[in-house]
Amino acid sequence: MTDPEAFWDRMAHGYAKAQIRDMTSYDQTMARTRTHLSPGDKALELGCGTGTTALRLADAVEHLTATDISSEMIAIAQGKALRQGVENVAFGHASIADSGETGGPFDVVMGFNLLPLIDELPTALASIRSSVKPGGLFISKSGCLAEKSFYLRPVIALMQLFGKAPYVANLKIRTLEGLITDAGFEIIDTHTYPGIIANRFIVARRI
């Protein structure tokens, strides 16, 4: 399997230049996420990529730690924060597996377009839970390939053969929500954003 850190380091500069594919859904996701954030929140975003979302949500919380397994992504994000003059976001290099050791516990932990890329999801969700305060929130948005995008599987498999795609779990919404619930969360808000892949927005409260 492709090493995720090396893969995302290779992708970082292309990812930074790429346009958001569905800006309407992105704007709606950001607005819906904001309804769950408070000005006093200490938040963590996992798999933050080049920092677009962290910088956009920075004014909705007191402080945001944003981490990613790719140091190339983090370097780009730090440059953007400097240029934009955003001072309450700290970008750092970390794997989702280390989320319990990134300065928490947090009021809110977020992960957008991240969970399907993790091959040991129950372990990762346990680590995420340990980074959320009791009663705090885990907010995620995940492409669920098994909902209707079965025709994409062979394309992804071919791309993986040539190192052009990372590991991607073939998740159904029901499966993903079951894993989040089993990890010790109660789901309090969901929405599906349609597209080539069904993108499931899930807000879960730590029990």
Binding residues vs ligand SAM (CB under 6 A): 4, 8, 46-49, 52-53, 68-70, 73, 95-96, 112-114, 117-118
Contact 52, 116 (CB under 8 A): no
Nearer to ligand SAM, 6 or 207 (CB): 6
Residue 47 CB, nearest approach to ligand SAM (Å):
3
Lookup result for tokens 């957008």: 112
Nearest to 78 by CA among 61, 55, 96: 55
Do residues 56 and 80 touch, judged by C-beta distance below 8 A?
no
Which residue lies nearer to ligand SAM by CB, 4 or 136?
4
Residue closer to ligand SAM, measured from CB, 165 or 187? 165
Q: Find the residue with minimal CB distance to ligand SAM.
A: 49
User: Which residue's CB is nearer to ligand SAM, number 4 or number 104?
Assistant: 4
Give the nearest distance from C-beta 6 to ligand SAM in angstroms.
Answer: 10
Strands 198-206 and 106-112: unpaired
Q: Cβ 122 to ligand SAM, closest distance in Å?
A: 14
CB of 182 to ligand SAM, least distance (A): 20
In this structure, what are the phi and psi dihedrals at residue 126, rounded to the nearest 5 degrees?
-65, -40
* Run of H or E residues at 137: strand 132-144
Residue (190 or 207) nearer to ligand SAM, CB: 190
Beta pairing partners, 112: 141
Please, what is the minimum distance in Å from the beta carbon of residue 52 to ligand SAM? 6
Number of Cβ atoms within 10 Å of the Cβ of 43: 27
